Structure 1
Amino acid sequence: MKSYVVGFAFSENKNNILLIEKLRPEWQKNSLNGIGGKIEAGEMPSDAMDRECMEETGLKLEWEHRGVMSGMNGDGKPFECHIFYTYNDTIWNFEQKEDEPLNVYAVEELHDKKMIRNLRFLIPFGQHNENKEFIRLEYQ
């Protein structure tokens, strides 16, 4: 099973969020997702989140580990994903470091955007439940 991290970087007032438009893998193509990626061998999830954020956005943010999801990805392969959140107005200072486009979106305008399915509850959870622990979520 592959392990991943995904982080949701909100503005301090939680009205805006930094998201990435995925170009790959194919099942995520043209969909919005949080910042993140694979956890490397021997790497702790928090270190992977810091590394992925720096590689993708050029930002050093203070991430809160809030939960773990596991199950089958959109490609039918098993996964485990550690969920992180942060609340920081430096999200507008991101640098476009890779080929997958980054943008800060108003949360209220996301309803008509194509995004990874679980963002429909992961974003509201982070927007309204700061500092609350996340349940372990398993897809069947």
Structure 2
Amino acid sequence: MDYVAGFLIDPTARTVALVRKRKPEWQRGKLNGIGGKVELGETPHEAMQREFWEEAGLNIRSWDHFATVEGAWGQVHFFRAFNEATPRTMESEPIEVHRLDAVPYSECIPNLSWLIPLALYTHDMYVPVVATELGTEAMAPE
């Protein structure tokens, strides 16, 4: 199964939009990137645009794929976008905007502690990172 998650970062790299998860159970109450499942026939980029529109009410087209995390449950394609638009909660899971110098990592999905800093990397040229998480069968994104 393929999933997407995105970080909307303001152009000055001071804030990031995250979602406070209610499901699945292992993510309940934790912050994560905004996203969901890649539907049949969609590219990850198309899924990222759709999911962000559905969950945060913004039609962002400038998503940049910067990492893929693989596990026994499938893979999550991580995207970033630098944009000054303000997201809003559109579904049952609240959208929160946090200062990047004060992200409460103790309240986040564990891999966000390295994915958010990686999303801020803006060197002129890079290849998206692929990471494999071991022993994470119980941590399926859904």
**TMscore range, shorter length:** 0.7 to 0.9
C-alpha displacement at 1:130, in angstroms?
5.3
Distance 2:98 2:57 in 1: 18
Normalised by the size of structure 1, how large is the TM-score? 0.88
Distance 2:14 2:110 in 1: 20
Q: Deviations over 1:87-137 (max 9, x none)?
A: 1111x2x22210101111001111454000110000011123455333211
Distance 1:3 1:88, change over 3 A: same
What is the alpha-carbon root mean square deviation over aligned residues? 1.4
| Aligned with residue 125 of structure 1, among 110, 118, 123 | 118
Unmatched segments (≥5 aa) in structure 1: 73-77
* Corresponding letter in the other structure for 1:125: L
Q: How many residues align?
A: 132
Distance 1:20 1:36 in 2: 9
Taking every aligned residue pair, what percent have the same amino acid on both sides?
A: 34
| Aligned with residue 77 of structure 2, among 61, 79, 82 | 82
Distance 1:8 1:48, change over 3 A: same
Distance 1:53 1:136 in 2: 22
Q: Deviations over 1:16-57 (max 9, x none)?
A: 000100000001000000110001111111110000000001
Partner of 2:101: 108
Normalised by the size of structure 2, how large is the TM-score? 0.86
Matched, 1:64 2:59: no
Unmatched segments (≥5 aa) in structure 2: 135-142
Distance 1:44 1:18 in 2: 22
Q: Deviations over 1:63-90 (max 9, x none)?
A: 0112211014xxxxx1211111111111
Runs of 4+ in 1 over 2 A off after TM superposition: 128-134
Partner of 1:136: 130
